[in-house]
């Protein structure tokens, strides 16, 4: 018989490592992160937390999620091996035991073995879905991080340019240059906000698809609960 426990190994992270994707700017170190302070200033002035709003869609430890999928794949291998072991035991038991109790035991353990082996198929498909979702969310998180940083930088430049334009309004040329730069940066900011919105929508779709997959998996593996273990150990002989 195959030792089924050999498959119950701690899952390793997929290569290449995907990490979290979305950067928590507060963890970088406030004093070393102008972007963090820029977001704090925007939040103070407008009441809108850019990083918090984007982060709630893409933040997460996606490497751990991928490892969870790999663990389900290991469990699939365990179910295949353990189901085969149970069937071998039931067959061997039936060969040397006759009577109603023997027939009942054989039927029970054969059904259990079949159900355990049937768990393999839905569980075996889980790693691909988990890793696919984790990598997708990680990529979105990385894109969102870059866009959020660039957006805050553009807003800071726009504010500075607008302030300079206002201060130099009497010179004419200074006002045109200052407000011109501000307009360009605001246009860039609007484009980046649009891209961040698209990322949030895509992330939501990925998560909803994953939730549907989880519900389907739950339905596929729910059959085992009908096998209630006996309250007491079997006492031989019985007919």
For the stretch 67-111, pLDDT in tens is 999 999 999 999 999 999 999 988 988 888 888 888 888 888 888
Domain 34-225 has CATH 3.40.50: no
Give the residue ranges of DSSP H helices in 33-125. Answer: 34-46, 50-58, 62-95, 100-118, 120-124
| CA nearest to 73, candidates 116, 112, 130 | 130
Q: Exposure string (b/e) for 17-35, b if CB count within 10 Å is 16 or more? A: ebebbbbebeeeeeeebeb
pLDDT score for 74: 95
Rg (CA), the chain: 30
Report the distance separating Cα 41 and Cα 222, nearest Å: 51
Phi-psi region of 161 (alpha: psi -120 to 50; beta: other; left: phi over 0): alpha
Question: Please, are residues 50 and 152 in contact by the beta-carbon 8 Å criterion?
Answer: yes
pLDDT score for 30: 46
Question: Please, are residues 124 and 78 in contact by the beta-carbon 8 Å criterion?
Answer: no
* Dihedral sign from CA coordinates of 157, 143, 203, 52: negative
Question: Rounded to an integer, what is the distance from CA 194 to the centroid of its chain?
Answer: 24
pLDDT score for 146: 84
Q: pTM for the full model?
A: 0.73
pLDDT score for 187: 78
Question: Please, are residues 196 and 148 in contact by the beta-carbon 8 Å criterion?
Answer: yes
pLDDT score for 112: 86
Residue numbers of the chain with a pLDDT score lower than 70: 15-17, 19-35, 37, 45, 158-182, 223-239
The structural domains of the chain, with segments of one domain joined by +, span: 34-225
pLDDT score for 143: 87
pLDDT score for 80: 93
């Amino acid at each position: 018989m195959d030792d089924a426990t050999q498959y119950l190994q701690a899952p390793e992270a997929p290569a290449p490592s995907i990490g979290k994707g979305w950067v928590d700017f507060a963890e970088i170190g406030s004093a070393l992160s102008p972007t963090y302070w820029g977001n704090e200033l925007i939040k103070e002035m407008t009441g809108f937390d850019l990083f918090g709003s984007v982060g709630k869609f893409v933040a997460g430890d996606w490497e751990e999620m991928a490892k969870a999928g790999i663990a389900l794949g290991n469990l699939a291998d365990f179910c295949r091996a353990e189901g085969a072991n149970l069937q071998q035991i039931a067959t061997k038991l039936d060969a040397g035991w006759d009577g109603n109790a023997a027939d009942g035991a054989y039927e029970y353990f054969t059904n259990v073995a079949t159900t355990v082996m049937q768990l393999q198929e839905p569980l075996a498909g889980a790693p691909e879905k988990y890793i696919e979702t984790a990598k997708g969310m990680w990529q979105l998180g990385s894109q969102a991080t870059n866009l959020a940083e660039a957006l805050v930088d553009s807003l800071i430049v726009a504010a500075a340019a607008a302030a300079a334009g206002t201060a130099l309004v009497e010179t004419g040329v200074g006002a045109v240059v200052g407000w011109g730069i501000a307009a360009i940066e605001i246009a860039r900011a609007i484009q980046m906000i649009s891209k961040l919105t698209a990322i949030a929508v895509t992330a939501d779709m990925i998560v909803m698809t994953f939730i549907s997959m989880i519900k389907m998996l739950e339905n596929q593996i729910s059959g085992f609960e009908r096998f209630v273990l006996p309250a007491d150990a079997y006492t031989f002989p019985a007919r």
